[in-house]
Amino acid sequence: MFDKFCKKLCSDEKFITVEITPPHGATINTVIDNIKDLGLDKKVDGFSVTDNPLAKLKMSGVLSAIKIQQEFGKPVIATMSMRDKNKLSLQSTLLGANDFDLRCILALTGDPAKLSDQPEVKGVLERDSTLLLSIIYHLNRGVDYSNKALNPAPNPIYPFAVANAYSKDMRRIQKKILKKLNYGARAIITQPVYDIDNAKELLEIFEEAKEQSIRETAKDAKLILGQFPVVRARTTNFISDKVPGITVPKDIIDEMNLASMDGEDKEQEVGFAISKGIFDEVMKLHGKVHLMTHNRFDLCSNLIG
């Protein structure tokens, strides 16, 4: 399953994944039922599952990913945040997940613990996400992080990483991409892209980073362009002003602000039209897209068509 998934990612075929955020509760069944009702699982190549985003309490990302993978029979990319786990816990979780055939891992440093909705939460954060990439590199060689042989050795693990979509100095993004490729990342998922020229520049610097990488796996690595549909003016303004690494063009912000003055229905109509246009352009340009919609799976389904 994973070999086929990664082979398609590395090919020239279209490749779409959708992000799932587990609930603040003890079952993910409602999310699964929603996806089934929409038939979304038949439109995508796989899913990803978040790990306590914004340091807010959610059901375990890894356990949620296992259940979703078993339900749909499609690969799931499980996010693992460095914020909440030390290297012992990371290795233990990876080995356990491997036994359930959960083998695509998205390595994140994680949002700061100070954002948490839980009292007095402290981050573990032994290092940034490159530590997790390094651990995966070791496990794929059949040894733990201290170079002790594992018996049995795990099945191959496919590491993913993230990158900002925009910076005033795009070479800074390139340096971070290169670093993650050198640590063994097989794919880089970007923050949401809202401008086709931005997408083209990301693809250009990614290809340059691949050429500079010392890692053999980098030659087959792929960039996956993030997409976060804009259907509310307030959200559009917030992500452009407050979320690092994302920029929304002024003409889109102006159009959404004007649409909001004519009511919520008009706002959502205009927002969907903008988002559909961006999605179709990006798919035509590159064809490797990761949709993030805060569990608006109806929106994902309509965008894909």
Q: pLDDT (tens digit, 9 = 90+) per residue, 34-46?
A: 999 999 999 999 9
| For the chain, domain boundaries | 2-304
Report pLDDT for 125: 86
Q: Give the pLDDT band of residue 181 (cuts 50, 70, 90).
A: very high
Is residue 164 within 8 Å of 190, Cβ to Cβ? yes
How confident is the model over 155-174, as a mean pLDDT? Answer: 96
Q: Give the pLDDT band of residue 31 (cuts 50, 70, 90).
A: very high
Q: pLDDT (tens digit, 9 = 90+) per residue, 78-105?
A: 999 999 999 999 999 999 999 999 999 9
At 162, give phi and psi (nearest 5°): -125, 160
Using the 8-state DSSP alphabet, how is residue 262 labeled?
A: T
How confident is the model over 24-34, as a mean pLDDT? Answer: 98
Report pLDDT for 240: 86
Residues of the chain above pLDDT 90, percent: 91
Comparing CA positions, the residue from 124, 290, 131 lying closest to residue 223 is 290
Interstrand relation of 15-20 and 222-227 (parallel, antiparallel or unpaired): unpaired
Q: pLDDT (tens digit, 9 = 90+) per residue, 245-272?
A: 788 999 999 999 999 999 999 999 999 9
**Virtual CA dihedral for 58, 62, 64, 69, nearest 10 degrees?**
160
Using the 8-state DSSP alphabet, how is residue 160 labeled?
A: E
Strand partners, 78: 49, 105
Using the predicted structure, report yes or no on whether residue 244 has a pLDDT greater than 80: no
- CATH 3.40.50.261 assigned to 2-304: no
Report pLDDT for 241: 86
Strand partners, 108: 81
pTM for the model: 0.95
Q: pLDDT (tens digit, 9 = 90+) per residue, 92-149?
A: 999 999 999 999 999 999 989 998 999 989 999 899 999 999 999 999 999 999 999 9
Using the predicted structure, report yes or no on whether residue 284 has a pLDDT greater than 80: yes
Distance (Å, rounded) from C-alpha 287 to C-alpha 60? 30
Average predicted confidence (pLDDT) for the chain? 95
Report pLDDT for 2: 75
